[in-house]
Amino acid sequence: MTANIAETKPLTANIVAGRAPLNLKEYSAAGGYRAVRKALKEMAPGDVTKAVKDANLRGRGGAGFPTGVKWGLVPSLEKSPGSRYLVCNADEMEPGTFKDRLLMESDPHSLVEAMIVAGYAIQATRAYIFLRGEYVEAAKNLNAAIAEANAAGFLGKDILGSGWSMDLHVHTGAGRYICGEETALINSLEGRRANPRAKPPFPAIAGLWGKPTVVNNVESLCNVQHIVNNGSAWFLGLNQGKSKDGGTKLYGISGRAKKTGLWELPIGTTAREILEVHAGGMKDGLKLKAWLPGGASTDFLTPDHLDLAMDFDTIAKAGSRMGTGLLTVVDDRQNMVSVVRNLEDFFARESCGWCTPCRDGLPWTYKTLVAMERGEGRPGDIEMLEKMTRFLAPGRPFCAHAPGAMEPLQSALKFFRGEFEATIKKIDKTTATHAAA
């Protein structure tokens, strides 16, 4: 049974609720660090990258960029000698997302092993886990795992006699959602304000301290050792034919559902199965009104979309994004103007302030929604919000923060326009001067 779980649910096979995480000895006994030995002794770095490419592992941080392709962008040692870095983006802060916390708190050796394999693939000289400061338990468990891995010779100089050396260090952040944007994360890691950088150059060419750098999400990385152990074909097959993407995915539900939580399922599982089977549906007396597929920065979908497969391409075709894959369900007691006001409050506060459209546009959006929520919306407010979704569309602001903020807004206006219209004061011609004031 245990072996079976490891083969069908590689990410969570070692995780038992209420049990302390496996230490190095226990983790190794469960098959851990086999991939490090296999990669370093039997495979060239390029072979590891190829295996991950062939497995079609797509970035689990939300963007879905193929992990192996990202590694492949790093220039060769001949072209770019010297330092190069692997950075794990463990700055989990997308509202509604609680998956990386589980992996790091409950199976820290899994991420450590993954980073050794990934670091070998890109021949990193140093690796960092950029961990959000609030994840105190994760920091403790990861540091303990790293200390054990160092002592066992899996990290440090000349790892397993391969001639390749890499340090791994946990860097804990000091807040701010924008640190999850990979170039802002790099600035933060350099000890600067977390303003995003212009792209190109992409981090793979010039990242941390101007050197080639790969930034990968926790969940993406934790698949890597299993691909090395079991092969790309096995990984692709984990989807049970539900998707073109490979692997399993950590899906979750938050909001007012019966059994909120997190489940490892084949990628491409339908939203309906996640909500109705795994979470047991909405709480008694409540109906599903809308859902965010994967975080605050994804477009709302409706109950009509529940039969869609939760993978990157399918959700994109429906006009949203899978994002982090953790659903937030909105029940029928909620007013969408208030729900979107809460979301825009978050985005306005978390704007780094670097570019004007985002710094000024988001508070404007938020304040308009506050007025509407009070029933003080004015004629033209909805059109202004729509204009905002165009002014803050991808490519207009400096990074993806403000475009992300516009996704729930534009979809709420599309599906629930009546609720926004109901907030606009009915102003006749005799009081029109008030509207102009």
Partner 1 sequence: MSTANVTPSSIPGSSPTVMKLADLVAGQSLPATPPYVMSDEERHEIEHCLHHYDDNRAASIDALKIVQKKHGWVPDAAIAKIGELIGIPAADVEGVATFYNLIFRRPVGRNVIKICDSISCYLTGYDEVREAISAHLRINLGQTTADNRFTLLPICCLGACDKGPVAMINDDTVVNLSPETIPALLEQYK
To partner 1, the closest distance from the beta carbon of 231 in angstroms equals 32
Between the CA of residue 184 and those of 331, 349, 373, what are the distances in Å? 34, 16, 33
Closest CA to 169 of 188, 152, 145, 193: 145
Sign of CA dihedral 140, 145, 149, 155: negative
- What Rg, from alpha-carbon coordinates, does the chain have? 23
Instruction: Quote the distance between the C-alpha of residue 328 and its chain's center.
Output: 14
Exposure b/e, 74-87, CB count within 10 A at least 16 = b:
beeeeeeeeebbbb
* Strands of 173-247, DSSP E: 213-217
Residues that bind partner 1 (CB under 8 A): 83, 92-98, 100-101, 126, 132-137, 169, 171-177, 188-194, 209, 252-256, 260-262, 292, 296, 326, 328-331, 334, 339, 342-343, 345-346, 349-350, 352
Strands across the sheet containing 248-255: 261-266, 248-255, 326-331, 288-292
Of the pair 54, 331, the CB lying nearest partner 1 is at: 331
Of the pair 243, 365, the CB lying nearest partner 1 is at: 365
Helix (H) or strand (E) holding 43: none
Per-residue tokens: 314: 């399918």
Instruction: Quote the distance between the C-alpha of residue 273 and its chain's center.
Output: 21
To partner 1, the closest distance from the beta carbon of 236 in angstroms equals 29
To partner 1, the closest distance from the beta carbon of 226 in angstroms equals 24
User: Is the Cβ–Cβ distance between 52 and 117 less than 8 Å?
Assistant: no
User: Is the Cβ–Cβ distance between 332 and 321 less than 8 Å?
Assistant: no
Of the pair 204, 262, the CB lying nearest partner 1 is at: 262
To partner 1, the closest distance from the beta carbon of 84 in angstroms equals 11
Per-residue tokens: 197: 């950088």
Of the pair 23, 342, the CB lying nearest partner 1 is at: 342
Of the pair 92, 107, the CB lying nearest partner 1 is at: 92
Of the pair 35, 412, the CB lying nearest partner 1 is at: 412
Which backbone phi and psi does 86 adopt, to 5 degrees? -110, 130
To partner 1, the closest distance from the beta carbon of 39 in angstroms equals 25
Length of the chain: 437
To partner 1, the closest distance from the beta carbon of 133 in angstroms equals 5
- What is the residue type of 357? P
Of the pair 226, 289, the CB lying nearest partner 1 is at: 289
Which backbone phi and psi does 324 adopt, to 5 degrees? -85, -10
Per-residue tokens: 113: 């092993």
- Whether omega before 363 lies within 30 degrees of 0, making that bond cis, reads no
Of the pair 9, 171, the CB lying nearest partner 1 is at: 171
Of the pair 258, 396, the CB lying nearest partner 1 is at: 258
To partner 1, the closest distance from the beta carbon of 134 in angstroms equals 6
To partner 1, the closest distance from the beta carbon of 175 in angstroms equals 4
To partner 1, the closest distance from the beta carbon of 334 in angstroms equals 7
